């Protein structure tokens, strides 16, 4: 019953805040260096005719890891719309077949939204490999050989993502990375130029101006986080007092 | 079309979600998830065709390192034909897995360990800040305190007290905090898709 209450509360808050924020100016957010750098990478990609590589990992959509993949898809959609006019379209890799199909669909939708349907190439959305290491091995040549100016890794990865960041490092390509997997987060913290920590992965849309629902999401997350903190502190206090 | 796909996505998403809380809807939820499983299997086939198209295009346009693409396609076709002819449990197919795929993945794992070490060394060159220093010192401390030094064995104070405190109190607390943040982010992302604010299933 607690789960249902949390979901319903989040749903109501998200709907209400999205509606209220429709005509409000964008909220003031703390700076995240990784996303500031991504802004610059988007501009650079359009200007110098290079491309962005977006990797969505291998999180199956029927598993609990699907959330990070969906956040990556939202980022892919945003980046496709912004860079569709450049000479080299963004290229996306995934390690799950269903995610690869969604990647192609998202790329196509991004081109349509930018009124550039003719520029869409189906081969820019790829299944790089169906197992963790084959996924990494398939993504490495994309970073190395396809004139990539920035590497955006957002989704569910394992420690094997270090192989992709190493390929990027050798090609002097900056990497921005965020994941929901704890060991992979530690790896990205050490290996990526711009790591996203924890929920920053899900906040990217709000920072890049993807719409009022993304800004509302951040507020809902903050409300729930404060509620959890108060709940934990209250529980600890009651335990200390011997009430529970 | 945009509204039709959004309608179906929202309706089926809500039904699957409701199945977790309303016992009457559990059979319907199981049915929908099994349909999704079938679709995922079809997606695997599409994924293989995608792999063939991408690498075929690389060979056709004679891109850099397209020799690897040729090797991949030849291996894929051979393995596929062998699998069809012999079945996946045939000793030859087991041999392909155990003699080629597993050693290759094990080699990549070995490369990964060196890559991680190299990344850790490079971290301070790339980002010199307090958190990077704390990160590296913590890694070194946990590694060093896990060692059993001959002839003393594990050092009592470090191995029995400091390392468990560092990994089970400080690091675990931080990990739980990160996981709570990730869970809240995943929850709101899922709800945005359920409400069709984000539509990864296409449409403008």
Give the model confidence (pLDDT) of B100-140 as tens digits: 888 988 998 899 888 888 888 888 888 888 888 888 888 88
Distance from CA of B72 to the nearest CA of A (A): 11
Closest Cα to residue A90, out of A54, A116, A115, A36? A54
Q: How confident is the model at residue B201 (pLDDT cuts 50, 70, 90)?
A: low
Cis bond before residue B151 (omega within 30° of 0)? yes
Model pLDDT, residue B102: 87
Burial of A218 (0-12, 13-18, 19+ CB in 10 A): buried
| Residue A156 CA from chain centroid, whole number | 9
Q: What is the DSSP letter of B197?
A: S
Chain A residues touching residue B178 (CB < 8 angstroms): 182, 185, 197-198
Q: What is the DSSP letter of A117?
A: G
Chain A residues touching residue B5 (CB < 8 angstroms): none
Instruction: Give dist(CA B129, CA B42) in Å, integer.
Output: 48
Please indicate if any CB of chain A lies within 8 Å of the CB of B94. no
The CA-atom distances, in angstroms, between B130 and each of A6, A191, B60, B137 are: 36, 17, 50, 11
Identify the bridge partners of residue A125 per DSSP, sorted by sequence position.
A92
pLDDT at A230 over 70: yes
CB atoms within 10 A of CB A129: 20
Query: Is A101 within 8 Å of A135 (Cβ atoms)?
Result: no
Burial of A97 (0-12, 13-18, 19+ CB in 10 A): buried
| Cβ pair B119:A187 closer than 8 A | yes
What is the torsional sign of CA A181, A122, A139, A92?
A: negative
* DSSP conformation letters of A155-193: EE--TTHHHHHHHHHHTT--EEEEES-HHHHHHHHHH-S
Q: How confident is the model at residue B203 (pLDDT cuts 50, 70, 90)?
A: low
Higher-scoring residue by pLDDT: A63, A158: A158
Model pLDDT, residue A46: 76
Half-sphere exposure of A63 (CA within 13 A, CB side): 13
CB atoms within 10 A of CB B43: 21
Chain A residues touching residue B177 (CB < 8 angstroms): 198
Instruction: Give dist(CA B120, CA B132) in Å, integer.
Output: 10
Average pLDDT of B43-49?
Answer: 89
| Cβ pair A190:B50 closer than 8 A | no
The residues in A 197-216 lying below 8 A from B, measured between CB atoms, are 197-199, 201-203, 205, 211, 213-214
Average pLDDT of A189-204?
Answer: 88
Question: Tell me: the pLDDT tens digits for A79-99?
Answer: 888 887 777 888 999 999 889
Chain B residues touching residue A221 (CB < 8 angstroms): 181, 184-185, 188
The residues in A 81-140 lying below 8 A from B, measured between CB atoms, are 97-98, 100-102, 104-106, 108-109, 112-113, 122-123, 125-127, 130-131, 133-134, 136-137
| Backbone phi and psi for residue A179, each to the nearest 5 degrees, phi listed first | -150, 165
State chain B's mean pLDDT as an integer.
86
Higher-scoring residue by pLDDT: B182, B150: B182
Higher-scoring residue by pLDDT: A231, A208: A231
Q: Which residue of A has its CA nearest to B172?
A: A182
Interface mutation vs chain A, best among B198, B199, B203, B204, most A CBs within 10 Å: B198
Phi-psi region of B148 (alpha: psi -120 to 50; beta: other; left: phi over 0): beta
């Amino acid at each position: 019953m607690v789960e249902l209450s949390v979901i319903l509360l989040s749903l109501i808050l998200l709907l209400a805040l999205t509606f209220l924020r429709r005509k409000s100016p964008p909220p003031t957010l703390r700076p995240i260096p990784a996303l500031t750098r991504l802004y610059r990478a988007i501009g650079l990609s359009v200007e110098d005719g290079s491309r962005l590589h977006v990797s969505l990992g291998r999180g199956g959509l029927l598993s609990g890891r699907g959330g990070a993949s969906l956040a990556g898809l939202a980022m892919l959609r945003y980046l496709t719309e912004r860079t569709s006019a450049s000479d080299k379209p963004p290229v996306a890799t995934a390690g799950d077949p269903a995610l690869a199909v969604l990647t192609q669909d998202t790329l196509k939708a991004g081109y349509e939204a930018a009124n550039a349907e003719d520029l869409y190439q189906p081969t820019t959305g790829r299944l790089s490999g169906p197992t963790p290491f084959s996924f990494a091995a398939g993504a490495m040549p994309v970073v190395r050989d396809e004139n990539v100016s920035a590497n955006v890794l957002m989704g569910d990865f394992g420690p094997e993502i270090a192989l992709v960041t190493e390929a990027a490092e050798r090609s002097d390509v900056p990497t921005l990375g965020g994941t929901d997997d704890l060991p992979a987060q530690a790896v990205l913290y050490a290996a990526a130029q711009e790591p996203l920590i924890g929920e920053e992965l899900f906040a990217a849309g709000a920072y890049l101006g993807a719409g009022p629902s993304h800004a509302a999401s951040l507020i809902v997350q903050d409300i729930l986080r404060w509620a959890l903190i108060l709940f934990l502190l209250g529980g600890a206090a009651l335990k200390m007092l011997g009430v529970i | 079309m945009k509204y039709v796909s959004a309608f179906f996505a929202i309706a089926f998403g809500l039904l699957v979600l409701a199945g977790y809380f309303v016992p009457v809807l559990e059979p319907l939820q199981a049915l929908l998830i099994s349909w999704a499983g079938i679709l995922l299997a079809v997606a695997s086939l599409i994924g293989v065709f995608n792999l063939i198209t991408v690498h075929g295009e690389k060979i056709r346009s004679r891109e850099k390192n397209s020799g690897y693409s040729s090797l991949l396609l030849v291996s894929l076709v051979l393995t596929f034909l062998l699998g069809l002819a012999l079945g996946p449990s045939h000793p030859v197919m087991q041999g392909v897995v155990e003699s080629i795929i597993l050693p290759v993945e094990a080699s990549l794992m070995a490369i990964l360990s060196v890559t991680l070490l190299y990344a850790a060394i490079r971290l301070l060159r790339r980002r010199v800040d307090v958190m990077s220093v704390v990160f590296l010192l913590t890694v070194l401390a946990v590694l060093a305190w896990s060692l059993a030094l001959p002839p003393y064995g594990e050092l009592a104070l470090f191995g029995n007290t400091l390392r468990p405190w560092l990994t089970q109190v400080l690091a675990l607390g931080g990990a739980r905090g990160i996981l709570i943040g990730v869970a809240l982010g995943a929850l709101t992302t899922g709800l945005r898709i359920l409400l069709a604010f984000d539509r990864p299933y296409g449409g403008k």
